[in-house]
Homo-oligomer: A and B are copies of this chain.
Amino acid sequence: MEVYRDELSVRTSKRLEILDITDQVKESISRSGILEGFVILWEPHTTATIAVNEGDPELWQDILDTFTRLVPIDRGYRHNAKYRGIPGEQNAHAHILNCLCGPSISIPLVEGRLTLGTWQRILFIELDGPRSRRVFLQVVGE
């Protein structure tokens, strides 16, 4: 069993934003040389998340609109009240959405390629930007 690790940098430019990181993930998997196994994507942040879905910017806006309709940015959260006056901590909505969506995704590899379906792209979802973000990537296999 080989374990290859890498870290991607993601620079977000808005409060809420979706970025397609599929190509960066593919390059990293190529560098690993691993053919049969899987990749674990892990984002070490509590106010962003990762998903796998279509590469359609209109859909991305639908996703973000729905997220903030269900979990509004301003809603009298205890977390925000506790850190009142600290702009970077008015982000309970982002923490809650991270709990719903999760911080990791594991994707099988076959012959060195991600088993993504036709419409699947790997999406980094910023929920409290703009910020510099990291995605930890671990390729495991042979």
The yes or no answer to A10 lying at the interface (CB within 8 A) is no
Give Cα A61–Cα B116 distance, bound, in whole angstroms: 29
Residue in contact with A53 in the complex, picked from B51, B95, B118, B140, CB distance below 8 Å: B95
Give Cα A51–Cα B40 distance, bound, in whole angstroms: 16
Q: Chain A's interface: helix, strand, loop or mixed, by majority?
A: mixed
Q: Which residues of B contact A142 (CB under 8 A)?
A: 1, 3
Residue in contact with A63 in the complex, picked from B70, B96, B119, CB distance below 8 Å: B96
The yes or no answer to A23 lying at the interface (CB within 8 A) is no
How many residues of chain A have a CB within 8 Å of chain B?
57
How many copies altogether?
3
Decide: B79 and A103 in contact? CB cutoff 8 A: no
Interface residues of A in 103-142 (CB under 8 A from B): 103-108, 110, 115-120, 123, 125, 136, 138, 140-142
Decide: B45 and A99 in contact? CB cutoff 8 A: no
Q: What 0/1 readout, one digit per residue, does chain A (36-73) give for beta carbons within 8 Å of chain B? A: 11101010111000011110101101110010001100
Give Cα A56–Cα B138 distance, bound, in whole angstroms: 29
| Cβ of A96 to closest chain B Cβ, rounded Å | 5
Decide: A115 and B44 in contact? CB cutoff 8 A: yes
Decide: B115 and A136 in contact? CB cutoff 8 A: yes
| Cβ of A128 to closest chain B Cβ, rounded Å | 12
